[in-house]
Amino acid sequence: MDIEQRIKELEEEIKRTQYNKATEKHILRLKARIAYLKRELEERRKRQKAQRGGKGIKKSGDATVSIIGPPSVGKSLLFNTLTNAKSDVADYAFTTLEVYPGILKHKGAEIQLLDMPGLIKGASLGKGRGREILSVARNSDLLLIMVDVFTVDYLDTILKELYNFGIRINQEPPNISIKKKDRGGIVIASTVPLSMDRESIATIVREFGYVNAELLIKEDITADRLMDFLAGNRAYIPAIFVVNKVDLAEDSLLKDIEKFLKGKDPVFISAKEKTGIEKLKDEIFKRAGLIRIYLKPQSGKIDFDAPLILKRGATIEEVCKALHRDFVKKFRYAMVWGKSVKFGGQHVGLDHVVEDEDIVRLVVRRA
């Protein structure tokens, strides 16, 4: 029997089964089975795509950001406002048929933005070229999830399609590790109290084909996140919620939207009137995980207009590598001014983590 059909059958079975204490375990097992089969399906699709030589958008710049949302919410107009590129803007749905790349220059960084067709219900199953759009989204460093003041309800659909495609937004990867063993069954160790009972955890792990294994769980894991971990092919990507066309909304509507999106920290903009754009740019820079490092040369002034752009969490070693391939080898120490140090001019080593707007002077051995 083919995998898709089997998944459908299992889903039907879950729907038919009355949820209660007695069936709880059985349903959990069915869910794990589905998650496992879905992964098999993904793997197969990936192999087929690799054979066909699937084309992708070439990444460039310091980070890649995809604009995702339903048709006609103003994605292309925003894209044109933010970048040096041009994308079609029109009054009817599906004006954007291709993926358009453009560069947003902000705070010394070059951020690649991708404008795409609208994402519709059923996208993760391939509707409206949805799988192509979601593949691009999956490979981004950040998503702009965009709706307009009239389509805020549609957000749920977008979030579901992302979820079904294995994209997890604004979540850290599950903090678990697993080791296969020769004997001993499923052994579960945890560093925090767990809400799930151990038998349920073991059931799910077994559904993914493990007979003997040691699990180390470092968070209060849910069944969904455990399955995500075991499936192993999830993409964890930060996302910014953008609400466009505020120029068309009454204050009362905006208040309702704010309430509806509570906890999602939406950025309100008007691509047409160019309001909220600077705030959005700052947010993109931050949420893409970028930081600026100013280099202090041996002599001469610091060029504050040309920072070195790195990813948050970068160390002095990365600063060295970005400047010259021999600098790590010749490194003696670095002097740092800024948020990452206790006092200005502090001497640090290669593993020191730098922060946004730190000033760094590298001291290296001469030839």
Residue numbers of the site for Mg ion (CB under 5 A)?
75-76, 95-96
Q: Within positions 260 to 319, which residues make up the interface with ligand GDP, using CB under 6 A?
A: 270-272
CB of 103: closest distance to Mg ion in angstroms?
Answer: 18
State which residue has the least CB distance to ligand GDP. 74
Contact partner, 238, from ligand GDP, Mg ion, none, Cβ < 5-8 Å per class: none
Q: Are 331 and 339 in contact (CB under 8 A)?
A: no
Residue 124 near ligand GDP by CB under 6 A: no
Closer by beta carbon to ligand GDP, 28 or else 152 = 152
Contact partner, 101, from ligand GDP, Mg ion, none, Cβ < 5-8 Å per class: none
Q: Which of 103, 85, 99, 111 is nearest to 56 (CA)?
A: 99
Residue 91 near ligand GDP by CB under 6 A: yes
Hey, what amino acid is at 195?
S
What span, in angstroms and rounded, lies between the C-alpha atoms of 117 and 249? 24
Which residue carries 């699937």 as its tokens?
54
Our measurement of the distance from residue 315's CA atom to the centroid of its chain's CA atoms, rounded to an integer in Å, reads 22
Torsion sign over Cα 204, 208, 211, 215:
negative
Closer by beta carbon to ligand GDP, 92 or else 343 = 92
Among 6, 10, 27, 71, binds ligand GDP (CB under 6 A): 71
Q: Are 142 and 167 in contact (CB under 8 A)?
A: no
Among 30, 68, 73, 237, binds ligand GDP (CB under 6 A): 73
What span, in angstroms and rounded, lies between the C-alpha atoms of 166 and 35? 11
Identify the bridge partners of residue 348 per DSSP, sorted by sequence position. Answer: 334
Residue 77 near ligand GDP by CB under 6 A: yes
Residue 157 near ligand GDP by CB under 6 A: no
* Pairing mode of beta strands 63-68, 109-115: parallel
What span, in angstroms and rounded, lies between the C-alpha atoms of 66 and 100? 10
| Tokens found for residue 84 | 């040096």
Closer by beta carbon to ligand GDP, 206 or else 272 = 272
Hey, what amino acid is at 22?
A
Q: Which of 239, 310, 296, 308 is nearest to 68 (CA)?
A: 239
Closer by beta carbon to ligand GDP, 61 or else 118 = 118
CB of 277: closest distance to ligand GDP in angstroms?
Answer: 10
Contact partner, 77, from Mg ion, ligand GDP, none, Cβ < 5-8 Å per class: ligand GDP
Residue 244 near ligand GDP by CB under 6 A: yes
Q: Are 133 and 114 in contact (CB under 8 A)?
A: no
Contact partner, 240, from Mg ion, ligand GDP, none, Cβ < 5-8 Å per class: none
Contact characters 320-349, ligand GDP, x per CB under 6 A: ------------------------------
**Contacting residues toward ligand GDP, per CB under 6 A:** 71-77, 89-91, 95-96, 118, 244-245, 247-248, 270-272
